[in-house]
Structures are given as structure tokens and as C-alpha cells.
Amino acid sequence: MLELKNVYVKYGQFTAIQNVNIQVDAGEIVVLLGANGAGKSTTFRAISGLSKPVSGEIQLEDQAIGGKSPDQIVKTGIVQCAEDRKLFTQMTVQENLMMGAYVHRKKKNEMKKRFQEVYDMFPILYEKRKDTAGSLSGGQQQMLAIGRALMSKPKIMLLDEPSIGLAPMIVEQMFETIKQINREGTTILLAEQNANAALSIASKGYVFENGKIVVEGTSEELFSNEEVRRAYIGA
Amino acid sequence: MPTLLSKKYALIAIILVAILIPLLSTNEYYLHILTLSFIWIIAVYGLNLLAGFTGYLSLAHAGFFGIGAYALGLLTVKGGMSFWPAFFLAPVITTVIGFFIGLVALRTKEHFFAIYTLCVGYIIYLVIDKWEGLTGGVRGLIGIPGPTNIGPIELTSANARYYFVLTVLLLVVFLIYRIVNSLVGRSFIAIRNDEQLAQSIGISTLKNKLMSFVLSTFFAGLAGALYASFIRFIGPDISNINITFDLLIFMIVGGIGTLSGPVIGTLLIVVLSQQLQFLQDHRMLIFGPLLTSIIIFSPRGLAGMYLTWYYKRKAKKKAQIQTDNASIGGDS
């Protein structure tokens, strides 16, 4: 479904990722593991069009999306749920969701349906729909960020460290939610440092180090890989 | 919804006062100043849409104001066009020029955008000032016609022209209100809040920024055309950078990014500077500290100060109700 072939991204002279090859099939959950600055977020930025790759190819359903602008890429069905729960903090919960459905702005019925689905999944967001996004708790903010991404009805969702800075109980809920979104038909590409939880829901994974993929394999393979266990699972 | 109702009543009361002023006062000078303030308010609304709601501070605003004024002046005085077609054409011309300038200017961001538009504004001023063949240069344009009668309604007396400008102002406020509360307006606010985030969730930022820019020049052009028809004489000074900074002060004091800010700020500063005429240029000794303290203590101006107070009070009440409910629950 989504394929990256030999992708290189540079920030000025600095090569942020090199020779990245990733394959995500429809319906999968795929995880990118690695420490801070290993290249996970840059890979996401390249896919969502925020950073232009200097070389390599990015394809969605065999269509090249490499040169498109971020808003065009959202229209093709890829949406990114950015790190740090980035929200429009000055706007209400409802307005944030409305912005997420921007690509469907001309279809009133579709928009209504999206609102219904997101509120069904996150009842707390319905309760707080008139509060400003900045006033929500960390977990609620993450739900809103995911809900907003869902509003565009993506084929594939990029989730950048959804568990960062959340209480362990909330993290568990978060991974349940991700599984649920996946079951309902959205393919998921997940960047995580919490390797244990991420691998338990993913079908395969890629391990980043210094901008390169150093290990790849199915979740079972990565679980039993000595190096991965030592570096990311801590056992 | 008591708050919504009281807001509605307050609005009606303000409009009523505005309607009654010419009937209660016979001071033509004050009426003149008030009419002029309304024209400035329209221009400030344009600036506020772009700088306040979209987050792009344009310093070319007086330039577009000048283009609107000169478009009306040239079409009527040199082109021999009658008033109304010229009046409708002037903002359109400003908008078309604004579109092409916006297309280039919006490739820059933040302070670079401010500096770029500052230069654009100055270039517009220079063109008006130096192109004597077209604009009459420093001598300006004299004999611009005022609004001609609409059917039986005469627009010649000071009162009639006050009402004419007031009507246009009310229309502008209504339009701005509709824009800000539409999905387009929300997208502007989203861009101001976090442009990259807006882009990453599918908002086409360039299109929206351009729309905001063009709308802002439309209101500047409209205000310029009104000014030209009201004062009947225009010179290059009206497109000078000083005017941009006046508009900026009106906006910041009133409340950047608020709906009522432009009205509050403009009226307050205009009235203050009228009252302080005797101080001449020393008035700046009062405006300077006023502006500085507003930026430091209430970045969203007087309207923002009120809104902060209002929401704080609302939150307090909400918390009070919750604790009351909790204690009732505990008793039973």
C-alpha cells in the first residue's frame, strides 16, 4: 500500500535519513523503532510532504506522492498525527475536529458522519467539545489529535510517538484505541520508543539508528532479536 | 443563553447610539471626526483579518488604502465616470492588485513578510507621489465627487453622509463576523495557531493565506474609496507608512484578532488625540507608553482584556456550581 524506496532526506548539509526502504501493506500495523533523532520523525515528514526527499521514491497504492504538497497528500489518504499532541490550542475541541475534516469540507453529510464516528470512539471529546483544546489533559489531547486525524477518513495514519509523556494506564488505553482504529480498516504506521507495547500490536517493524534502518522483520523476529531486546526492550 | 442575549442587546444599544448621535448633537466637527473614524475602522478590520486572524502582519495596508482612494479619484475626476460605478470598481481594482502582490508576498513568513510588505507599501506611496502625470503627485487630486443620490435619498448633508458611512461599516462588521465564523475563518485561525500543523492535516495554506490577504486589501480599498468620497481631496500622504502605523496602533490597542477590537481601538485613539490636540506632537508621550503597556500586559488589547476577565469569571462560576453540586450530593 505505502512504499518507500531508497529515500534520502537532508536538512542543509546534514543527512537525516538515508536509504530508507519501508513497505506497509493494507490493513497492517507497522512500527518504526529507534531512539530520539534516529530518523523516525523525518521519515514521517517525508511521507506527509513536510520535508522533500532529495532522492528516492514514495508511493501510495503505486502512485508516486513524493513531490506533492502536504495538503494534497492528505487528500490522497495519508494523514499524520504529529508528535507532542500538536493541537490548535486556541480553538475548541469541535473546531479542531472540524479542521481535521477540511478535505471533506464540501460534503456536509460526510462531515456529520465523521463527527459521529469520532465522538463514538472518544465520548469524552463529545463531552468537552466546547472547551478549548489547551484545557484538556494529556491523554485527552492525544485522543483529540488522533480523532482529528480520523476526521479526514485516512487510508493510512502515521502516528508519531502517541504514548510519549502519558501515564502507563493511559498508554495501555491508547494502544487499545490504535488496535481498534486498525480493526475498523485504517492502516497504521507507528513510530514508538515503547518497543514492548508497540511490537505487541504490530505485525512488523523497522529499527532506526542514525538515520538508517539497521534491523527489520516481523514482530516475533524483532522480539527475539538479541540486539533489539537489549537496546529497546530492556531485557 | 443569557450571555448571548445580553450580547445582542449590547450590540443593538451601540447601533442605536450610533444612529442617534447626529440627532442629538449639532456639532458638525465631531460628526466629521466620527465619520472619519468609521472609515478608519473599516480599514482596521481589513488589517485585523490578515494580521489578527491569520497571523500575517502586513505593513502595506495604507498603500492599498491609497490605491482604493486614488482608484475612485482617478475614475471620477480623470475618467469622468459617475460616482457609484467608480465606488464599486475602486475596491475591486485594489483587490486585483492585492492578489498579485499577495501571490509574491506570501512566499515569505513572519518578520520577512512584514519587511516585504513594508517595502511594497512604500513603493505604492512612491508611485503615487512621483507619477505626476497620473496622480497629480504632491498636488493631489481635487474635486472628487461625493456619493450621488440613491433614488430619493440625498447624500449631501453631513448627517446623510454619516449614515451612509455607518451603513457601510455595519455591513463590513457583519461580513467580517460571517467570515471569521465560517470554516474559512477557522482555517485562518488554524494557520495563525500553527501553520505547519494546519498544512499537515490537509488545509491548503497558500490558498487560505491568499484569500485572507485579498480580503484584507478589499476592505482597505473600500475604506480608501469612502475616504476619497468623504474628504473630496486626496494626496499621496494617505498611502504613507505613517497611516499604516496609525491603523496598527488602532488595532493593537483595541485588540488584535478580536471582533470588537477595531471599533474600540480606533474610537478610543481618535477621541484621545482630539482631546489632546493642545499637546500637539507631545501627544506621542502619552500614546507611546500606552501602546507599550498594552503590548506587555494585554497582548490582545482592550477587547482581549475584557475577554480574559469574562472567561475567568465564567470558569469561576462553573467551578462554584460544581462544588455546590458536590456539597448537595454529599448532604443527601
**Where residue B92 falls among pLDDT bands split at 50, 70, 90?**
very high
Q: Which residues in chain B are contacts of A87 at CB distance < 8 A?
A: 197
B71 or A69, which is more confident? B71
Average pLDDT of B169-176? 96
Question: Do the bridges between strand A55-60 and strand A212-218 make them parallel or antiparallel, or are there none, so unpaired?
Answer: unpaired
Q: Per-residue pLDDT for B328 more than 70?
A: no
In a domain, A20, yes or no: yes
Which of B193, B194, B202 has its CB closest to that of A102? B202
Q: Which residue of B has its CA nearest to A79?
A: B201
Residue B331 clears pLDDT 50, i.e. is over it: no
Q: Sort strands A55-60 and A14-24 into parallel, antiparallel or unpaired.
A: unpaired
Averaged confidence pLDDT in chain A: 87
User: Looking at CA atoms only, how far is residue B291 from chain A in angstroms?
Assistant: 24
Look at residue B63 in the predicted model and tell me its pLDDT: 96
Asked if A89's CB is within 8 angstroms of B190's CB, the reply is: no
Question: Residue B4's pLDDT is what?
Answer: 60
Q: How much is the pLDDT for B330? A: 46
From CA A20, how far away is CA A18, in angstroms rounded? 6
Instruction: Tell me if chain B has a CB within 8 Å of the CB of A178.
Output: no
A121-136, pLDDT tens digit by residue?
899 999 998 888 988 8
Higher pLDDT, A135 or A82: A135
pLDDT at position B130, please? 92
The C-alpha atoms of residue A31 and residue A24 are separated, in whole angstroms, by 10
- Residue B307: per-residue pLDDT: 85
Q: What is the predicted pLDDT for the residue at B329?
A: 53
Number of domains in chain A: 1
| Contact criterion met (CB < 8 Å) for B193 and A50 | no
Contact B215/B49 with Cβ under 8 angstroms?
yes
The answer to whether residue A63 sits within a structural domain is yes
Given a cut of 50, is residue B1 above it in pLDDT? no
Cα of B101 vs its chain's centroid, Å: 19
CA of B267 to nearest chain A CA: how many angstroms apart? Answer: 28
B7-55 pLDDT, tens per residue?
788 889 999 988 888 888 878 888 999 999 999 999 999 999 999 999 9
**Residue keyed to cell 508511493:** A59
**Domain containing A10 — which CATH number?**
3.40.50.300
Average pLDDT in the A207-217 region? Answer: 88
Q: Read off the amino acid at residue A70.
A: P
User: What is d(CA A218, CA B59) in angstroms, rounded to the nearest whole number?
Assistant: 57
Per-residue CA distances from A47 to A67, A118, A166, A218 (Å)? 10, 24, 26, 22
What range defines the domain where residue A20 resides?
1-75+187-235
Confidence band of B276 (pLDDT split at 50, 70, 90): confident
Residue B187: predicted pLDDT: 94
The ranges assigned to domains in chain B are 27-248
pTM above 0.80, yes or no: yes
The complex's ipTM works out to 0.83
Looking at the predicted structure, is the pLDDT value of residue A194 above 60?
Answer: yes
